[in-house]
Amino acid sequence: MARQTLLKNAGLEFTAIPADVDEREIEDRMPAANRDPVTIARHLAIAKATEVSRKNPGAVVIGCDQTMSLGPRIFHKATTIEEAGATLRSLRGQAHFLNSAVCLVEDGKVRWSEVSRACMQVRDFSDDFLAGYLERNGATILSSVGCYQLEGEGVQLFDAIAGDYFTILGLPLLPLLAALRQHGINHA
């Protein structure tokens, strides 16, 4: 929903159509040499947009995906509060990256793609803070790969952030708007 809100607030008219793809299967089929977090994000965004594009001939489809990485480790969304706690403990006192990919696909062909990165420095929070954070935020944090929403209490987890706010929310909006203008789709 955050991505849709960003697009609406930017004045774009669009129809949101969810892609029916198995992200883990797509990731598993990628050659091991290409399984870095940036390439995975780009590949998943393109796979999603291509799937929607094939069902909507002539439409320019915006595809997005985001990966989160800490060193070589790539994280996936937690499915339980316990997993969310484990994720946040592993991020404590460390800097991780959000890798946000966006692409334009038309008739199954990639017209443009971009990946932007944001570096997120998690503070060395206490176990008591973590327990309270998990209790107060509950299942809502399971919708985010990092188990936080920066626009909410999740901001309390950080010491520093380097990167574009839109990238953090999962959509490199400024490069996307420029690409839409360049391709004659957005006349702003």
Residue 127: band (very low, low, confident or very high) from pLDDT cuts 50, 70, 90 = very high
Per-residue pLDDT tens for 17-54? 999 999 999 999 999 888 899 999 999 999 999 999 99
Contact 105, 46 (CB under 8 A): yes
Catalytic residue, candidates 65, 128, 159, 164: 65
Query: Average pLDDT for residues 126-139, to the nearest whole number?
Result: 97
Could you tell me the residue ranges of all domains in the chain? 2-182
By CB atoms closer than 10 A (0-12, 13-18, 19+), residue 23 is middle
Region 2-182: CATH code: 3.90.950.10
Please report, as a single letter, which amino acid is at residue 91: L
By CB atoms closer than 10 A (0-12, 13-18, 19+), residue 184 is exposed
Residue 65 known to be catalytic: yes
Question: For all residues of the chain together, what is the average pLDDT?
Answer: 94
Q: What was the pLDDT predicted at 187?
A: 65
